Each structure stands twice: as C-alpha cells, then as structure tokens.
Structure 1
C-alpha cells in the first residue's frame, strides 16, 4: 500500500436494510463505518471488512434501493434520492459519529451526502469511487452493459473483469448473485443517469477529512481517474492510497488492507 505521489427517499423501515454488526460493541468514542456498496452489488460485500474491523469498530452496510434485498426507492433512482435514504437511515440508527465509506457508485452517493454536511459525519473514505464528474465510459460499453442485465454469463464475465486477485468460488458466486438480483430499473438508472451526473460543483462544501483507496489493477476506474477527477475536488491534503495487486472490488479483494487503512484514517479524525 502506498500513497500515489502523482495524483497528489426511502423509509428505512421499508428498506430491509442490511446490518453487519454482530460483534462486541466498540468504544463509544469510535465512529461507526457506514458503508455504501457498488453498482450491481449489495451491502454484504462488506462482510469480510466488518470482521477485520471488529471488535474495535462497528460497521453498517445497507442495501441501496433496487439492489440486494432493498425494494425500489420511493424517491426514484437518483443520486439525491439515495442520499436522502441514507440520511434517513442515519437518523433511524441514531448515529452520532460515523464515517461514510463509499465504494464505486456508493462513493458518488457518499460525496453528495457529505456535501450536505450532515450532523455526526466525521470523515469520508472512498473505495475506487465513481467520480463526481461523469464516469468515463464509451457509448459502446454503456450499450453493452445495458444489454447485460439479468444474464448469468455476462455477470460472470463482469466479475472476472472487475477483480484482479483470486477469490474463493463462494465469493465469486456471491458477486454474480448480487449482479443478477439487481432490479432492471436500478441497473438502467445508474448507467443512463447516475453515472453521468455531475456533482462536482457541490463538493466545495465538504469540510471533513477524506481519503481515497484504489487498486492499481482496477480496469474499471484507474487510480489516474481518481487523481484527475476526484482528488482535486476534495479537501487539501486528501491522500490517494494505492493497494497493489487489487482490482475494483476492494472490499472483496483486499479487506485486510482496507481495514488497516480505515483504522489509520479513523484514528486521525
């Protein structure tokens, strides 16, 4: 792991939100890690990370509307609606001190919510985040992704593309299953709208410490994208940490390294 010097509204009660906190309660001063998952994924992607952080830190990982077990979001499949849902979830969980951890699509949602300066927010950790600017994707790739919904063969191909490290068969199956249970509406909305939305102008209001974690073998969102599109919009001094040999799915591929970096980040807050 190294710092890249060059890059220098859904009601929670109806959301069936996933909680990953079956551990000894941490110190009351420790922030809760509130994790937002990647597109075509679910909150269970953070299970190994939760184990790595326990018992010192509590981790919560809700399914976003239309993904995992969560129903369609009442406010629509927009970034604003997802941010509204997470804000409501924070209130329902009575969180007083927390760090937003946003992975890929979840990173963009986390940035939008952080820009609102919600009470209790201590910091933002972005794992291979979708940039606040329109995501770099060709029209050809977007069209292919739209056609891939609900197809197991395509889900298996995507799993191979977005991971670089060897994963157990059970983990690979979990990634494919989450892909296949994503609703069509949520799938299309991100590709056609959310990934294209530009929230860059709103990030000037983020006042909490931030950090970016990225795999050097990420074929979806390279560290260069983070350095050019996201890092300049975050508070001065925000680091870009590179995890060697990892692809796009850091919570699955590198839970130990991610946990080490998150612990260090939390201790600096």
Structure 2
C-alpha cells in the first residue's frame, strides 16, 4: 500500500494482527523487504508494519527531506494513517537512528524501542574519503556484491538473499544516498536520548564491521543503561537477513513481555 507523508508516497507493508504493532525501519541500501524473513516469523502473533524510507524501495523519490527528523516524520505519519495504538519501533542501522529520534518525541502510541545493529545518535566520524567510498558502495552490482561480502555480512548468503539485496541497493535514489552519507549520518542527535525512558532492547552482531559491539556499547547502550543488550554470535551488520530466527525470537519475547 501507499501512505502519504507531506506529499511523498511511502510504500508500506502491513501484515498480521495483534494488540501490539511492530513498525520496522530498514538500513541505508535496504527496503522493507530486508525484514521479510523476520516478519514471516512474527506475523502470526503481532501486527507487522514495514516502511520503505523515502527514496528507497518502492517509495517515492523526494527532492528533499532526508534528515533523520524527516524520516521520523514519515514513520509517524504511517503510524497515524494506520491508526496504530501500541507500537514498538524496530530500527536497523540507519533505521535505528530514526527510531531513536522518533521515540524521543514521546508520542503516546510508542511504547518501546528495539535497535538492531543500529546507527548511533552521535555523528559517524568518517573521513571525506571514507564517505566517498560509502557513497560509491552501491554504484554497481559488482560494488554491491563486494560490500555485502566484505563489509555488511559475516557469513554466506544464499543466492536469493544476494539478489534481493543487490536489487534493493540498486534502487536507492541519489537523493536518499546523499542524504544519509553526507547529512543524516553526520547529525548529532544525542540530546534526544535525554527524553527516552521506554523499554529498550539492543541487538548487535558479534562480527559487525559497521557498528561493532564496542561501538554499540559506547555510543548506544551507554545512553540507555536500562536496556537489554544481546550480542548475536558470528553475525555481521545485516542481522535481519543473517539471523532472522534469532532476531524474531528476541523481538517476540520482548513484545510478549509488554502485552497486557
């Protein structure tokens, strides 16, 4: 389905039923499809809503509006349009930064936060050369495959998984890519953490090269000392793809504990 946010048409999937809705946000280079294996394991028990960020997947390419605050506005527009009343925000990587900012706004619908291989609220301190390399990571099928194998994952992907990830990465618009690499990833949103007192769960891949456990501990978990932290052995940055069963089980236990 398509949902409007400030004139931008967002692609949204909505499956399952339940009092609690899990609202999924994807990584830069991904789409709602990044979460498909996790959602298939959860939708019997929970309502699962996944959003293609503007300029990614099947969502419209906006000419502007790629700050973290804009993405947070988009997610809340979806929550309101669907009439969701009890929401757990589930953010992966870039989506995790969005989820943290949205949760800090203290909307009554948002009851908890799940961060999966999340980007921090702090700026990602890359050199200009590193940012240029990031920007080039999804320029071609060859560069995407190299990035998947050498940066984003810690193990073998199936041919089907690779093809889906390549298709998503090739689909990311220039506006969305520039927005993350040169703007949103540079934003310092740490003051937002002061407004967060929700139940929080943090998942990190033991072999994540993008947001390694040490960075997660220092830059994310330290902001939320009450959060439960789970390190997934032998997995990299793409936890929803590399370890869907583990991610689903952890999210299910977390959400079940919030029911009632």
Q: Distance in 2 between matches of 1:51 and 1:13?
A: 30
Query: Is the CA contact 1:16–1:70 (under 8 Å) kept in the aligned structure 2?
Result: yes
Task: Specify which of 174, 180, 183 is matched with residue 190 of structure 1.
Answer: 180
Q: Stretches of 4+ moved more than 4 A in 1?
A: none
Q: Distance in 2 between matches of 1:148 and 1:104?
A: 16
Alignment of 1:157-236 (within 5 A): 157-160=146-149, 161-234=151-224, 236=225
User: C-alpha displacement at 1:136, in angstroms?
Assistant: 3.8
Q: Distance in 2 between matches of 1:117 and 1:179?
A: 32
Which residue pairs with 2:30 in the alignment? 41
Task: Specify which of 11, 15, 22 is matched with residue 17 of structure 1.
Answer: 11
Unaligned runs of 5+ in 1: 1-9
User: C-alpha displacement at 1:72, in angstroms?
Assistant: 2.5
CA distances 1:154-173 after superposition (whole Å, capped 9, x unpaired): 11111112011222101111
Distance 1:69 1:12, change over 3 A: farther
CA distances 1:60-109 after superposition (whole Å, capped 9, x unpaired): 11100011111134761111111111111100010001100000000000
Which residue pairs with 1:58 in the alignment? 47
Which residue pairs with 1:155 in the alignment? 144
Name the SS of the counterpart of 1:15 in structure 2: strand
Number of aligned residue pairs: give it.
255
Query: Is the CA contact 2:87–2:109 (under 8 Å) kept in the aligned structure 1?
Result: yes
Query: Is the CA contact 1:164–1:247 (under 8 Å) kept in the aligned structure 2?
Result: yes
CA distances 1:179-225 after superposition (whole Å, capped 9, x unpaired): 11100111011111111101001111112111110110111110110
Query: Normalized against structure 1, the TM-score is what?
Result: 0.90
Which residue pairs with 1:7 in the alignment? none
Q: Distance in 2 between matches of 1:147 and 1:47?
A: 26
Q: Distance in 1 between matches of 2:212 and 2:137?
A: 22
Unaligned runs of 5+ in 2: none
Which residue pairs with 2:71 in the alignment? 82
Query: Is the CA contact 2:119–2:211 (under 8 Å) kept in the aligned structure 1?
Result: yes
- Structure with the larger strand share: 2
Q: Supply the RMSD in Å over aligned alpha carbons.
A: 1.8
Q: Distance in 2 between matches of 1:58 and 1:13?
A: 26
Q: Distance in 1 between matches of 2:140 and 2:97?
A: 26
Structure number with greater CO (CA < 8 Å, separation at least 6) is 1
Distance 1:13 1:62, change over 3 A: farther
User: C-alpha displacement at 1:146, in angstroms?
Assistant: 2.1
